[in-house]
Amino acid sequence: MRTEYQFREIEKAWQGFWETNKTFQAQVNPAKPKYYVLDMFPYPSGAGLHVGHPLGYIASDIMARYKRLQGYEVLHPMGFDSFGLPAEQYAIQTGQHPAITTEQNITRYIEQLKNMGFSFDWSREVRTSDASYYKWTQWIFMQLFNSWYNQESDKAESIETLKAILGAKGSIGLKAVCDEDVHRISASEWNAMSADEQYAYLLSFRLAYLDDSVVNWCPQLGTVLANDEVKDGVSERGGYPVEQKKMRQWSMRITAYADRLLRGLEEVDWADSLKEQQRNWIGKSVGTDVEFAIENVSDKKIKVFTTRVDTIYGVSFMVLAPEHEWVEELTTPAQKEAVEEYVNWAKTRSELDRVSEVKTVSGVFTGTYVINPVNQERVPLFLADYVLAGYGTGAVMGVPSGDQRDWNFAKHFDLPIPAILDAQKDIDIQADNTKEGKYINSGMINGMGYKQATETLVSWLEEQGIGKGKVQYRMRNAVFSRQRYWGEPVPVYFKPAANGEYLPYLIEESELPLELPKIDKYLPTETGEPPLGRAAAEWKYQGQYDYEWSTMPGWAGSSWYWYRYMDALNEGEFASKEAINYWKAVDLYIGGSEHATGHLLYSRFWNKFLKDLGYVPEEEFAKKLINQGMIQGRSNFVYRLKDAAKVTFVTHGLKDQYEVAALHVDVNIVENDVLDIEAFKKSRNDVPADAEFIFEDGKYVCGWEVEKMSKSKFNVVNPDDLIAKYGADTLRVYEMFLGPLEQFKPWNTNSISGSHNFLRKVWRLFFDDQANTSKVVDTPATPEELKVLHTAIRKVQDDLDRFSFNTVVSTLMICVNDLGALKCSKKSVLRELVILLSPYAPHIAEELWVALGEEAGSISSAKFPAFNATFLEENDFNYPISFNGKVKLTLAFPVTATPAEIEAAVLANDQVSKHLEGKTPSKVIVVPKRIVNIVLGK
RNA sequence: GCUUGGGUGGUGGAACUGGUAGACACGCGGGACUUAAAAUCCCGUGAGCCGUAACGCUCGUGUGGGUUCGAUUCCCAUCCCAAGUACCA
């Protein structure tokens, strides 16, 4: 028996024990209630696990262990989201295959995770980049490709049911989610189509479909960049210009599920703020589509969506997105030059720049006029980059009196600002978006109120066939193609139709997985095709057809992984029916709030889709969600000159004298903000050996900022050193003690010794360090000791049930301090204390469990202590006595005393009358077992 | 810009439903033990004021208002910080 707290040995020994005895292996066990605790799985970055990762994992592990103590069958798995950009970046720099990098990183992650003593069931580990896993990601893609969304049944259905409908009734009046511009046909038109034509027609309905999307294109790198890789309008890698470009991309019709994604929020136990964020992201708005005719153009009309059709008489201009496909056609010769200049300028602006800059107005007149359908007025047509092509119809009507941005635009271009409501105020100073009052200057709706005006206009527009009430979502369909190597291949090949057009076809299900081909370099081809195009010569379907060369996005593999954990080794299905029906859905999901609108929406979307097809039972995949706050890091920066012929970096102190771009630099090659130049050159291949550095005081000083700790910011802090110094139990306790799980906080190691001391204090309740002997005695506990213990039992349970992990630590500290003061070493008390501690500090708990002489085996199969309220009963309550809300003294009264008795006793009290200073209280408020407040008049 | 959070001692934080603000830790100061150090233990620690001391007083939860017997907590306004913003994951 170890009588000293030697955490290194203890932790190693118990980690070995758990692994050998498969202590945490979960199984389908209908005899027990189940509990599924899931962590958002990590991307295995080259920097290893940082101190921010374990925060959520510790919390989920505590819940997993707590639920085991309560008798649940607990599924608590871990895996890796192992496709992604950093491994590909590394491959580009070094030529090493991303699979090798990924494998190495995962090995390191597993080692680190095991060091933390997590109770994961490692037999269920998944990796999204394993062919045995992405086989099923590809399989789900195939189901999406083979499905359409039937708005009648409000669910996804097989494309076969659509074919049947088209054959019988055609698509006129068909309620389906499909491409905006799909041509409506009759059944006979459908039946007259060739097989190829029918196939091409169906592409407009599939949930996975091809569409033009705008991307960040970097001509010099020949590749598409993530917004993350673009800084200040140039590529982060190399500093080259980036422009907005349309490309043919795979997309997913997530908008088909917009309404169900909204409704589903009502049935999940997620933070209200997060639900609100998702609601706003989905952005349901009810409004009207209106078509404006174009002067001198007969074959086209511009469609706009507006939520305020009642303001249509106030339209004084119309704006198209600069990348709208009709821009060239609708520009008059006189305006051609100005328009081209504006369009080229807009290409250099990122979407974020465009929508976030509201103070400056930019735009250009096309020379063309459109006709307002309600009053036949000529309205000038402008281009402006605050309108986005990908959102809505790419056109908006400008109503300056009711919308501030339109108002600014009208002022800037000297356009009229007609008043439309008699309640509008000061519209020569600013816009007034009121819905109050009666309409003026508004033709058919003059004198009406908001509701009646809207109804009148919508029905008039519908009668005329130039408008329609419509529900629109801010959320856009999800772009699914990535021009990258390290992702799932899309299981599609292209075959020419009779008209020469290439159509996408799925490969056979039996041919899954479609594995990534080997390529010579992880870069785009010389003609700008995605990296997989490099394999094109040999990598062909049936030896003749080109495969899809783009790969799937990072979110594909992470949108269904919780099902794979249920049955990770299954080769015939993504998971067996038996496993899915037992585990059903995730009971507790813990991960970063930065996933609020990305991963969590995509996952909900795929889950609903799988449910529609009958593969899974639950509409929502995660019943309870907790977002752990990010542990923030301290990043370092170097400053690269923007317009230097030679690659040059300037030190932080002198950077203001130059045009610079700030680039993150790995904090591990920076000491006290001073950069290690040699290491820096080696770390990046875009820094040539002869790169120049402008120093201050003979050194290169980096800038710094507190921001998110993440691989992409090169500011990762590693937990290994802390474990070596204090042990995993200390780190676990400390990370929980830092503050509320949900709260954002910068990492600070300073007070970790307090958590370590706490564990040592626990140890000293059991052992006498000096005498090397056990102190545990088998005598009955005193009422005082039981009160201390049961106070802790109640609070630990209450706090864990509301996921307040930090206050549990305080509670345990108080309990241990109190027991120490009572010199309590009673076995019956310590036994329960150790169980309370075990979810937080499992290694020391196992060791002390043995020291108590408990039977061989793990404390994880013990039972959580039962709280007994009788030990806490008190006869008196100490009432704070306050005067006008300020507490001056306390008085004890029996808990059974009535408010009237207390009031009388208080007023009769000597000390109280001293504070009254002869005044008569106007009122006395007694809140039983809380407070007494004596109100004195002024 | 928009969406969602956050702001309490020197520091991390506690105060769960409007009821004694600062629990529990860190740090700091003082002391005990020790030849010394480590470890451990004890005392003090929001700011200011009065006083030899005890007793006590005033202020105090980003800022300014409001509601209430009573506000860190609810409402309005405002400032600052963070995250997300659709190809980082």
Tens digit of each residue's pLDDT (9 = 90 or more) over A306-318: 888 999 998 999 9
Whether residue A737 is contained in a domain is answered as no
Could you tell me if A245 and A385 lie in one domain? no
Last residue of a domain, one of A554, A583, A609: A554
Mean pLDDT of chain A: 87
Cα separation of A160 and A896, whole Å? Answer: 74
CA of A925 to C1' of B70 (A): 10
The model's confidence at residue A701, banded by pLDDT at 50, 70 and 90, is: low
Could you tell me if A321 and A444 lie in one domain? yes
CA of A147 to C1' of B30 (A): 77
Q: What mean pLDDT comes out for the span A650-677? A: 65
Whether residue A921 is contained in a domain is answered as yes
Please compute, for residue A234, the number of CA atoms within 13 A of its CA located in the half-sphere on the CB side.
14
Give the nucleotide at minimum CA-to-C1' distance from A483.
B87
CA of A921 to C1' of B49 (A): 29
**pLDDT tens column, A894-916:** 888 888 888 888 888 888 887 77
The model's confidence at residue A421, banded by pLDDT at 50, 70 and 90, is: confident
Whether residue A408 is contained in a domain is answered as yes
List, in order, residues 6 or more apart from A379 with CB less than 8 Å away. A292, A315, A316, A317, A318, A369, A370, A371, A372, A397
Shortest CA distance to A365 belongs to which of A403, A408, A331?
A: A331
In the predicted model, is pLDDT for residue A703 greater than 70? no
Lowest mean pLDDT among A154-158, A347-351, A377-381, A658-662: A658-662
Cα separation of A134 and A553, whole Å? Answer: 12
* Integer CA distances (angstroms), A128 to A134, A486, A624, in order: 6, 11, 24
The model's confidence at residue A697, banded by pLDDT at 50, 70 and 90, is: low
Asked if A531 CB < 7 A from strand B, the reply is: no
Last residue of a domain, one of A496, A525, A554: A554
In the predicted model, is pLDDT for residue A698 greater than 80? no
Whether residue A799 is contained in a domain is answered as yes
Write down the pLDDT at residue A177: 92
Asked if A882 CB < 7 A from strand B, the reply is: yes
| The residue type at A334 | A
Could you tell me if A624 and A648 lie in one domain? no
CA of A739 to C1' of B55 (A): 39
Asked if A555 CB < 7 A from strand B, the reply is: yes
Give the nucleotide at minimum CA-to-C1' distance from A758.
B25
The domain containing residue A775 runs over which residues? 750-868
Last residue of a domain, one of A708, A735, A758: A708
Give the nucleotide at minimum CA-to-C1' distance from A358.
B1
Write down the pLDDT at residue A770: 62
CA of A751 to C1' of B49 (A): 34
Write down the pLDDT at residue A58: 95
In the predicted model, is pLDDT for residue A99 greater than 80? yes
Name the strand (E) or helix (H) holding A729: helix A728-737
Whether residue A212 is contained in a domain is answered as yes
Asked if A938 CB < 7 A from strand B, the reply is: no
In the predicted model, is pLDDT for residue A704 greater than 60? no
CA of A796 to C1' of B89 (A): 34
Residue found by looking up tokens 């923007």 in the block = A642
CATH of the domain at A134: 3.40.50.620
Cα separation of A82 and A45, whole Å? Answer: 9
Whether residue A725 is contained in a domain is answered as no
Please list the residues that pair with A927 across neighbouring strands: A931
Q: What mean pLDDT comes out for the span A601-629? A: 94
CA dihedral sign, ordered A69, A73, A74, A79: positive
Residues in A 167-196 whose C-beta is less than 7 A from nucleic strand B are none
Could you tell me if A409 and A350 lie in one domain? yes
Whether residue A64 is contained in a domain is answered as yes
Tokens representing A756?
């370590």
Give the nucleotide at minimum CA-to-C1' distance from A477.
B86
Write down the pLDDT at residue A39: 94
Asked if A479 CB < 7 A from strand B, the reply is: yes
Name the strand (E) or helix (H) holding A306: strand A297-306
The model's confidence at residue A434, banded by pLDDT at 50, 70 and 90, is: confident
In the predicted model, is pLDDT for residue A478 greater than 60? yes
Could you tell me if A506 and A642 lie in one domain? no
Cα separation of A589 and A424, whole Å? Answer: 49
Q: What mean pLDDT comes out for the span A154-170? A: 95
CATH of the domain at A336: 3.90.740.10
Tell me the backbone φ, ψ of residue A872, rounded to 5 degrees. -105, 0
Give the nucleotide at minimum CA-to-C1' distance from A923.
B69
Write down the pLDDT at residue A884: 84
Could you tell me if A444 and A301 lie in one domain? yes
Residue nearest to nucleotide B24 (CA to C1'): A810
Q: How open is the CA angle A480-A483-A485, to the nearest 5 degrees?
A: 105
CA of A822 to C1' of B24 (A): 19
Give the nucleotide at minimum CA-to-C1' distance from A80.
B89
Residues in A 410-439 whose C-beta is less than 7 A from nucleic strand B are none
Could you tell me if A375 and A440 lie in one domain? yes
Q: What mean pLDDT comes out for the span A631-640? A: 70
Contact A62, A840 (CB under 8 A): yes
Shortest CA distance to A474 belongs to which of A315, A277, A607?
A: A277
Cα separation of A440 and A668, whole Å? Answer: 67
Could you tell me if A348 and A446 lie in one domain? yes
Cα separation of A627 and A78, whole Å? Answer: 17
The nucleotides of chain B lying under 7 Å from a protein CB are 1-6, 11-16, 19-21, 23-27, 39-42, 56-58, 69-71, 82-89
Q: Which stretches of A540-672 are DSSP H helices?
A: 554-557, 561-566, 577-583, 599-612
Write down the pLDDT at residue A531: 92
Could you tell me if A850 and A781 lie in one domain? yes
User: Helix A98-115 and helix A7-20: axis angle, to 10°?
Assistant: 110
In the predicted model, is pLDDT for residue A673 greater than 60? no
Residue nearest to nucleotide B68 (CA to C1'): A885
Tell me the backbone φ, ψ of residue A503, rounded to 5 degrees. -110, 145
Give the nucleotide at minimum CA-to-C1' distance from A888.
B20
CA of A55 to C1' of B26 (A): 20
CATH of the domain at A840: 1.10.730.10
Domains identified in chain A, total number: 6
Could you tell me if A295 and A443 lie in one domain? yes
CA of A924 to C1' of B50 (A): 31
The model's confidence at residue A2, banded by pLDDT at 50, 70 and 90, is: low
Asked if A553 CB < 7 A from strand B, the reply is: yes
Could you tell me if A821 and A925 lie in one domain? no
Cα separation of A49 and A728, whole Å? Answer: 14
Write down the pLDDT at residue A474: 86
Asked if A922 CB < 7 A from strand B, the reply is: no
By CB atoms closer than 10 A (0-12, 13-18, 19+), residue A1 is exposed
Whether residue A12 is contained in a domain is answered as no
pLDDT: which is higher, A231 or A893: A893
CA of A931 to C1' of B60 (A): 22
Write down the pLDDT at residue A137: 97
Could you tell me if A409 and A341 lie in one domain? yes
